Amino acid sequence: MNWAFNSSGDVNEMYAAGLLRGMLEIPSASYQERALADFLAEAMVDLGFQTHIDVVGNVIGVIERGDGPTLMLLGHLDTVPGQFPVRSEDGKLYGRGAVDAKGPLAAMICAAASAVDFPGRIVVIGVVEEETPGSRGAMEIRATHDRPDALIIGEPSGWSSVVLGYKGKLDLRYTVKCPATHPSNPAPKASELAVECWAALVDLLGPDVGHDVFARPGATLCQLNGDLTSATADISVRTPPGFDVDKLVRELHERLPAGKLEVLNSVAACRVGRANPAVRALVSGIRRLHAQPRLLVKTATSDMNTLAEVWDIPMATYGPGDSKLDHADNEHIMLSDFLRGINVLSIAISELALLPVGSDDKVSSAPLAERSLRCPT
């Protein structure tokens, strides 16, 4: 018997915890994911996947078990910088990426390997550069892969919660140069103009701007560098569904007396309905583990936004881990929650085996207000 499996074909708990720990021990800050991709490619081969690493560095594992539906499980390899020692303590596993998002990706790999009765094709992908403005890994997947029949994105939702949607994101850069002058000269200085750009943006977004409500935009002044002659401001705006990005950029540009305003990245908000088959499958898994499911929307952004722009299919985001620990110096995951997450995903995979294959309208059975909503472009 393969030591990774028990007699029922499930990946055992020792192997699952060991896989996650091995992932945590490999630093994988954005743009430095190759060592982790190599590790997972080898691990997935041992679990029965056909694997390869694509041209941008995404690791892709495929299990073919029949002509049924194609299910894609997609998480990200990269973390923010700041590796710290991996350790186990009081049932918790500490390490950079434990929740964001190596824990969810490890759970997906284990659940997919255990799905011995799935009648179709399961594709598990670890993408690069999710923590960067360009989301290069997810962009490559949507450009080169056929649309699956369902998609689950691996991000920390908490083992008993499912994420229905995310705000969009608009990344802006304002640069300005001014002639050298004395500080007492009343002429505008570059640093002052950069500050005025931020103030103009906040004014345009209105008095209710903030990150605490899904239906309202929120803005962050990510970086400000400048002196009297040159300045740069990097600004990120989180946008709700239906937000007019072009109008905001146009009106902000009109308020700037000098300098250059660039759009570095723009991705629309997305949200699916409660009746979405991917949501229902995950909710079923949570209920089978005797918990009351929570359905969430997030004010951040994920690769769900990137893929929802082009794939109008059943999708949802799910993964064990407390998102409040994202990027934290004490980032950790409860191993019991990690194992529950594998079980929830295993049940959801079984439920999604009943999806139609290659249908043009995979969510039409839901009421209109509850259907999977394609993000506006």
Q: What is the pLDDT of residue 323?
A: 95
Residues 178 and 30 both lie in one domain = no
Residues 232 and 307 both lie in one domain = no
Tally the C-alpha atoms within 13 A of residue 361's C-alpha that lie toward its C-beta.
6
The answer to whether residue 4 is domain-embedded is: no
Distance CA 344, CA 123 (A): 17
Distance CA 123, CA 112 (A): 8
Q: What is the pLDDT of residue 283?
A: 98
Q: What is the pLDDT of residue 86?
A: 97
∠ at Cα 34 (96, 143), nearest 5°? 105
Q: Give the chain's domain count.
A: 2
Distance CA 118, CA 348 (A): 11
Residue 33 CA from chain centroid, whole number: 16
Residues 24 and 144 both lie in one domain = yes
Q: Which residues of the chain have pLDDT under 70?
A: 1-10, 359-377
Residues 38 and 155 both lie in one domain = yes
Q: What is the pLDDT of residue 36?
A: 98
User: Which runs of consecutive H residues, i.e. helices, occur in 73-164?
Assistant: 102-114, 136-144
Instruction: Indicate the pairing of strand 168-177 with strand 92-94.
Output: unpaired
The answer to whether residue 8 is domain-embedded is: no
Residues 43 and 31 both lie in one domain = yes
Residues 142 and 219 both lie in one domain = no
Distance CA 62, CA 359 (A): 21
Given 223, 246, 267, the domain boundary residue is 267
Given 267, 295, 316, the domain boundary residue is 267
Which residues, other chains included, contact 14 with Cβ-Cβ below 8 Å and sequence gap of 6+?
Answer: none
Given 212, 244, 267, the domain boundary residue is 267
Residues 147 and 62 both lie in one domain = yes
The answer to whether residue 377 is domain-embedded is: no
Task: Evaluate whether 112 touches 19 at the Cβ level (below 8 Å).
Answer: no
Residues 219 and 350 both lie in one domain = no
Q: What is the pLDDT of residue 296?
A: 97
Tell me how far CA of residue 368 lies from CA of 150, 279, 311, 373, in angstroms.
Answer: 19, 16, 18, 9
> What are the catalytic residues?
78, 130
Q: Domain with 139 in it: what CATH number?
A: 3.40.630.10
Q: Domain with 199 in it: what CATH number?
A: 3.30.70.360
Query: Residue 182 sits in which domain range?
Result: 168-267
The answer to whether residue 376 is domain-embedded is: no
Residues 257 and 287 both lie in one domain = no
Backbone angles phi, psi at 8, to 5 degrees: -90, 0
Q: Which tokens hold the place of 95? A: 């390490």
Residues 130 and 36 both lie in one domain = yes
Residues 150 and 160 both lie in one domain = yes
Task: Evaluate whether 43 touches 51 at the Cβ level (below 8 Å).
Answer: no
Rg of the chain over all Cα atoms, to the nearest angstrom: 22
Q: What is the pLDDT of residue 253?
A: 97
Residues 72 and 93 both lie in one domain = yes
The answer to whether residue 354 is domain-embedded is: yes
Q: What is the pTM of this model?
A: 0.88
The answer to whether residue 3 is domain-embedded is: no
